[in-house]
Amino acid sequence: MTVWPGSAYPLGATYDGNGTNFAVFSESAHKVELCLFDDDRNETRFELTEVDAFVWHGYLPQVQPGQRYGYRVHGEYDPVNGERSNPNKLLLDPYAKATTGVIKWGSSVFSYNFGDPLSRNDEDSAQDTMLGVVINPYFDWAGDRHPRTPYSDTFIYEAHVKGLTKLHPGIPEDQRGSYGGVAHPLMIEHFQKLGVTAVELMPVHQFINDSALADKGLSNYWGYNTIGFFAPHSGYASNGELGQQVQEFKGMVRSLHDAGIEVILDVVYNHTAEGNHLGPTLSMRGIDDKAYYRHVDDSPEYYMDYTGTGNSLNVGHPHSLQLIMDSLRYWVTEMHVDGFRFDLASTLAREFYDVDKLSTFFELVQQDPIVSQVKLIAEPWDVGPGGYQVGNFPPQWTEWNGKYRDTVRDFWKGEPSTLGEFAERLTGSADLYEQSGRRPVASINFVTAHDGFTLADLVSYNEKHNDANGEDNNDGESHNRSFNFGVEGPTDDPHVLEMRSRQQRNFLTTLLISQGVPMLLHGDELGRTQGGNNNGYAQDNEISWIHWDKADAPLMEFVAAIAHLRKDHPTFRRSRFFDGRPVRRGEGEPLPDIGWIAPDGNAMAPEDWDSGFGRSIGVFLNGDGIRGKDMRGEPITDDHFLILLNAHTDSVEFRLPEDEYATAWEIVVDTAGAGVSTEPRMAGEAITAQAVSALILRQYKGPEPDGDNSVAASLIAMSGAATTPINTPGRPAV
């Protein structure tokens, strides 16, 4: 087979309709061999003799999609000085757009002999490692377009490709747990019922299972162990055809876009699966160790580890940065995704040592005409010094707000002295984001995520129960801010079950009426439990998968109703922070855009905020005080709302504020299920918030033309109370 000179750009294997161009960067290489494999893994080697700016390249006119390949890199092997080239290790192309095979854990995939990390192991790894696959880049997108949902209208659903549908009885068995399963019509119907506008998929870049987990009979279920930044994970394809994962992923995106749902990827650019100095040699370690990984300055045998996983990508090297940026652009332009959530994003800001929001990575993102235009979400921490950076990312970014999670949990648990910070979190966390010119949507609000308790477990367990992970229950967070209502785990006690259900509704209501962008963990709307396991990273089984046959249907209806309340009323998704200034439109006294109301109906006094025992608060949201204009340039207005939150273990009597706010109110949500009514409640009237419950009241404007006096009928909180559900057009029936 003839090797033509080819081109140094683009990197990776690129099929053009006639043949394939191969290009790989290595500054440390003395020689690079391209290795092609047939169906039986018989190998044919071709030396790449063309080198431009340390990119080794060649064009093979006969190579078609489906061809398996890898590289062998010849160079220095000197681990003490951070050099680990060994041509006996077949290496996966960092730019491979698809992969095939799995890692067979044994001595061949390690560059050293066990027991002596400085030695050299010359066993050949070709039969025991992953191969790249040349893909067909052509796909009928059928006019697909990015939905480009504004952040203020966004509702994110964090999901695991496999766990989401693996046990779904309505999805064909061969599609369960796959990309096709995520986009099945039943799943799209579920997303739309909930009002979800974006699905955030846990890692789908090609990842591998750690040898330590394999030895325990476990696997890396979450997928935060990337080995290929361009390849969709092959294990999520519905069949094993070479390159099928690429076509199926694109089909998934196209179907979700057709339904108006964006696709956001959870990406892991902070480290790779090759681990520390005792890890395997699978790809970048053998191609150019120093270029791709951060090493300890005075001991280059070892790797800098800001992630707790063994290594950190070298974001101070131009080719490592190029890898990240090329990958991001590829997923936007070729795979049509709509944004990224960056795992342990603080690591990407460590160009030298400290976290630096002016680092080269952020500068590259800022000026990139493609990447800068999609949703960019940071997990704003890592395990290195000064790694907790909530509120400190550049203005273009949004952030997982860990302070929101902790404060909301503390408030509803009844912790003392939480009112002030709870108010900050409920209103968009201006204390974190306003000073940098950002808006409330910079805060990605969540109560639960993949890492930690599910919502059902948050209200059912005081302690973690991670025995299945094989680490003697020493893994996972021990301070969960959870409360089990007196019984650890499952119970038949009706009072405990009612309080747990109520608390779940409290969390969900708070999440969906808070300013910022809400994110829901998959299955929380269904009452999913992991049996108290708060670190299910290794549980690729029924512990982590959604049990659709056990779904809490009333809870799902409640989530859908509250989400549609949010969608219908812009007062819950403002694009600017509250400023407290009085606003008047039409007749009447000017009112502030927000007001904080004590249980006695008066404005909160300083001593109310400072009291350590305060557990109850009212919030007035002025529908005339929304700063912003609609697409026609008209001021955005809405109904007035009053939110009453009671975290006490006893009921609390609230007195509705005097009529300068509104002459009458109607209760549209009561998480205790007792107070929803079509009857108006007059200003100054007393109203009871049951123990550990939330009430949402809307300004009463009189009977609706169709005779339905209130949206309350479609927003009833499901608690077992005797209620009569009524269908309201455009909203779910409850």
Q: What is the CA radius of gyration of the chain?
A: 28
Q: What is the pLDDT of residue 724?
A: 29
Q: How far is it, in rounded angstroms, from Cα 97 to Cα 135?
A: 7
**How far apart are alpha carbons 71 and 93 in whole angstroms?**
7
**Active-site hit among 379, 540, 608, 638:** 379
pLDDT value of position 232: 98
Cα 601 from Cα 551, distance rounded (Å): 40
Active site residue 173: no
Query: Do 361 and 346 touch, CB atoms closer than 8 A?
Result: no
Alpha-carbon gap, residue 580 to 186, rounded angstroms: 44
pLDDT of the residue at 707: 43
Give mean pLDDT in consecutive 10-residue pieces for the chain, a chain of 734 residues. 95 97 98 98 98 98 97 97 97 98 97 97 98 97 97 98 98 98 98 98 97 93 98 95 95 98 97 97 98 95 93 93 97 98 88 63 93 96 82 93 97 92 97 94 98 98 97 96 98 97 98 98 98 98 98 97 97 93 73 94 90 88 85 86 96 92 93 79 95 96 56 42 30 32
Residues 43 and 23: their CA atoms lie apart, in Å, by: 19
For residues 431 and 390, the answer to whether their CB atoms sit within 8 Å is: no
Read out DSSP for 41-89? --EEEEE--EEETTEEEEEETT--TT-EEEEEEEE-EEGGGTEE--TTS
Q: How many angstroms separate the CA atoms of 519 and 508, rounded?
A: 10
Predicted confidence at residue 202, as pLDDT, reads: 98
Name the DSSP class of 391. T
Say how far apart CA 573 and CA 585 lie, in whole Å.
20
Question: How many Å apart are CA 391 and CA 399, to the nearest integer?
Answer: 7
SS3 240: coil
Do 453 and 473 meet the contact criterion of CB atoms below 8 Å apart?
A: no
Instruction: Give the C-alpha distances (Å, rounded to integers) separating 266 from 199, 345, 495.
Output: 10, 11, 39
Alpha carbon of residue 615 to chain centroid: 31
242 touches 100 (CB < 8 A): yes
Residue 336 has a pLDDT of 98
- What H or E segment, with its residue span, contains residue 226? strand 226-232
Task: Please write down the long-range contacts of 612-615, taking CB distance under 8 Å and 24 or more positions apart.
Answer: 612/416, 612/417, 613/416, 614/419, 615/411, 615/414, 615/419, 615/646, 615/647, 615/648
Task: Give the integer Cα–Cα distance in Å for 32 and 51.
Answer: 10
User: What is the Cα–Cα distance from 151 to 318, expressed in whole angstroms?
Assistant: 32
Edge-first strand listing for the sheet containing 664-670? 594-597, 616-621, 641-646, 693-699, 664-670, 681-682
The set of residues, in sequence order, having a beta carbon less than 8 Å from that of 174 and lying 6+ positions away, is 238, 239
Find where tokens 């893909």 sit: 135
**Beta pairing class for 517-521 and 443-445:** parallel
**Tally of CB atoms within 10 A around 587:** 5
Q: How crowded is residue 395: how many other Cβ atoms within 10 Å of its Cβ?
A: 12
Residue partners of 205: CB distance under 8 A and separation at least 6: 223, 226, 228, 229, 230, 231, 232, 233, 265, 267, 268
Report the C-alpha gap between 369 and 381 in whole angstroms.
Answer: 26
- pLDDT at res. 524: 98
Q: Got the DSSP string for 313-376?
A: B-TTSHHHHHHHHHHHHHHHHTT---EEEETTGGGGG-SSSS--TTSHHHHHHHH-TTGGGSEE
Residue 445 has a pLDDT of 98
Helical (H) or strand (E) element with 202: none
pTM across the whole model:
0.95
- Catalytic residue, from 33, 343, 457, 608: name it: 343
Our answer to whether residue 379 is catalytic in this structure is yes
Which whole-number Å values give the CA distances from 456 to 488, 524, 527, 528, 550, in the listed order? Answer: 12, 7, 5, 6, 13
Buried b / exposed e over 356-378, threshold 16 CB at 10 Å, is eeebbbbebbeeeeebeebbbbb
